[in-house]
A = this chain, B = another copy of it.
Amino acid sequence: MAISSLLKGDHRALAKAITLIENNDPRAAKVIRNVFPYTGRAFVIGVTGPPGAGKSTLVDKLIAHYRHKSKSVGVLAIDPSSAFTGGALLGDRVRMQSHNLDPNVFIRSMASRGGVGGLAKATRNAIRLLDASGKDVVIVETVGAGQSEVEIVKVSDATVVVTVPQLGDEVQIFKAGLMEIGDIFVVNKADLLGADRMVTYLMSGIISKEGWKPPIVKTNAKTGEGVEELAMALEKRKTFISGGKQAEKRQTERISAELAVLVTERMSETFSKALVNDDELERIAKLVVGKRMDPETAAKKLFTKLWKKMVA
Which residues on A are within 8 Å of B, measured CB to CB? Answer: 29, 32-33, 36-37, 39-40, 50-51, 80-87, 112, 115-117, 144-147, 149, 172, 175-176, 248, 251-252, 255-256, 258-260, 262-268, 270-272, 275-276, 281-282, 284-286, 288-289, 291, 294-300, 302-303, 306-307, 310-311
Q: Which residues of B contact A271 (CB under 8 A)?
A: 263-264, 267
* Complexed CA–CA distance, A285 and B265 (Å): 17
Q: Are B259 and A302 in contact (CB under 8 A)?
A: yes
Q: Are A288 and B264 in contact (CB under 8 A)?
A: no
Q: Are B176 and A83 in contact (CB under 8 A)?
A: yes
Smallest CB–CB gap between A205 and chain B, Å?
Answer: 15
Q: Are B264 and A295 in contact (CB under 8 A)?
A: no
* Complexed CA–CA distance, A112 and B80 (Å): 14
Q: Which residues of B contact A175 (CB under 8 A)?
A: 83
Other-chain contact of A50, B84, B285, B298 (Cβ < 8 Å): B84
Copies of this chain: 2
Q: Do most interface residues of chain A lie in helix, strand or loop, or is the interface mixed?
A: helix
Q: Are B294 and A263 in contact (CB under 8 A)?
A: no
* Complexed CA–CA distance, A87 and B172 (Å): 9
Smallest CB–CB gap between A250 and chain B, Å?
Answer: 10
Q: Are B295 and A282 in contact (CB under 8 A)?
A: no
Q: Are A259 and B286 in contact (CB under 8 A)?
A: no
Q: Are A51 and B289 in contact (CB under 8 A)?
A: no
* Complexed CA–CA distance, A93 and B176 (Å): 20
* Complexed CA–CA distance, A26 and B113 (Å): 31
Smallest CB–CB gap between A290 and chain B, Å?
Answer: 9
Q: Are A268 and B266 in contact (CB under 8 A)?
A: no
Q: Which residues of B contact A303 (CB under 8 A)?
A: 263, 266-267
Smallest CB–CB gap between A110 and chain B, Å?
Answer: 13
Chain B's closest residue to A311 (CB) is B311
* Complexed CA–CA distance, A9 and B264 (Å): 41
Q: Are A260 and B248 in contact (CB under 8 A)?
A: no
Question: In the complex where A32-B296, A248-B289, A267-B271 touch, is A83 in contact with B259 (Cβ < 8 A)?
Answer: no
Chain B's closest residue to A88 (CB) is B51
Question: In the complex where A82-B149, A295-B32 touch, is A260 in contact with B288 (Cβ < 8 A)?
Answer: no
Q: Are B300 and A266 in contact (CB under 8 A)?
A: yes
Chain B's closest residue to A35 (CB) is B294
Q: Are B255 and A145 in contact (CB under 8 A)?
A: no
Smallest CB–CB gap between A52 and chain B, Å?
Answer: 9
* Complexed CA–CA distance, A286 and B267 (Å): 22
* Complexed CA–CA distance, A272 and B251 (Å): 20
* Complexed CA–CA distance, A151 and B145 (Å): 18
Q: Are B295 and A281 in contact (CB under 8 A)?
A: no
